[in-house]
Amino acid sequence: MTHDLVVVGSANADLVVGVERRPGAGETVLGSDLAVHPGGKGANQAVAAARLGARTALVGRVGDDAHGRLLTASLTDAGVDTAALRVGGAPTGVALITVDPSGDNSIVVSPGANSRLTPEDVRASADLLRSAAVVSTLLEVPVETVAEVARIAAAPGGPRLVLNPSPPRELPREVLAACDPLVLNEHEARVLGATAAGRGAAEELLRLGARSVVVTLGADGAVVADASGTAHVPSVKVDAVDTTGAGDAFTAALAWRLGAGAALREAAAYAARVGAVAVTRAGAQESYPTAAEVSA
């Protein structure tokens, strides 16, 4: 079976509490009832792409526990191929999320089983990766695992690689050189060495070695840059309810459209519409739209 998109990445249980305001150092605030949702940037991307109609698979790892079963069920229900989702080695990863009334969030991640996803796991799934038009990955799994994904993508006939360097850290040169595109926000761009903002950051990261770059700017849209030039993609104005997982929906939609042959700017414009729908609904995976909803 061929796939439109294979995601190599994390699967977490999102433990979400609403707060009137996020606490400062040493401060305690009261929150809403705890809600548990399937999440993790890798699982989020896989579900978002599958909802849009992409043939999608996830290479990842969960624990042999209730959170792992929740995630496996959510992926399966969305139509994601979970044959390469490994079980065991550590408890399922957990994200502790607070959401304020404006929809902004703060997140602390305990990686758990995600930190046990190894380069050997990626090599065992090499045929799956090569079956895809695009492979998307991120930094909630070990850098050496991401480097193995990049090695497979860079080989002759390999898939196109989309990387969201979140949480941000310095990337090996060979990983940066395989990114097509590197998808990141301005904070992540600074960690990777950009000194400018917006358009300037995208152009700097091209010069540092990425094949193409998308810098997301929140309500101001995004900047895309590749060998053909740099362009601004406007946002879609909506009333945000919860931004949790919206960036993952953007990246998944972008990757899927690129694999279908769209130009970078066109794919980013479509991804902006998908992200806009997602922020109008609570939660991460529960907020992701179908292609028909995006068209509407």
At 283 the pLDDT is: 74
Q: What is the dihedral of CA 170, 15, 222, 181, to 10 degrees?
A: 50
Q: Is 127 annotated as a binding residue?
A: no
- Residue 52: helix, strand or coil by DSSP? helix
Residue 218 among known ligand-binding residues:
yes
pLDDT, the chain, mean: 94
Q: Is 4 a catalytic residue?
A: no
What tokens were used for 75?
Answer: 């992926």
What pLDDT, in 10s, does the model give residues 240-293? 877 777 899 999 999 999 999 999 999 999 999 999 888 888 777 888 989 898
For residue 7, which of 137, 132, 105 has the smallest C-alpha distance? Answer: 137
Q: Where does the pLDDT of residue 238 fall: very low under 50, low under 70, confident under 90, or very high at 90 and above?
A: confident
Burial class of residue 144, CB neighbours in 10 A (0-12, 13-18, 19+): exposed
Cβ neighbours, 10 Å, residue 179: 25
Q: Which of 4, 121, 226, 248 is catalytic?
A: 248
pLDDT in tens, 108-128: 889 999 999 999 999 999 999
Torsion of CA 214, 220, 221, 222, to 10 degrees: -10
32 among annotated binding-site residues: no
Q: Which CATH class is domain 3-9+41-90+119-295?
A: alpha beta
In this predicted model, what pLDDT tens digit does every residue of 5-52 receive, in sequence order? 999 999 999 999 999 998 889 999 999 999 999 999 999 999 999 999
Residue 216 in marked binding region: yes
Query: Is residue 216's pLDDT more than 80?
Result: yes
Cα–Cα distances (Å) from 157 to 124, 130, 160, 161, 243, in that order, read 18, 8, 9, 12, 36
Q: If you average pLDDT over residues 157-165, what whole number do you get?
A: 97
Q: Which of 58-62, 208-212, 244-248 has the lowest mean pLDDT?
A: 244-248
221 is in an annotated binding site: yes
Least confident of 51-60, 79-88, 271-280: 271-280
pLDDT reported for residue 295: 86
pLDDT tens string 179-194: 999 999 999 999 999 9
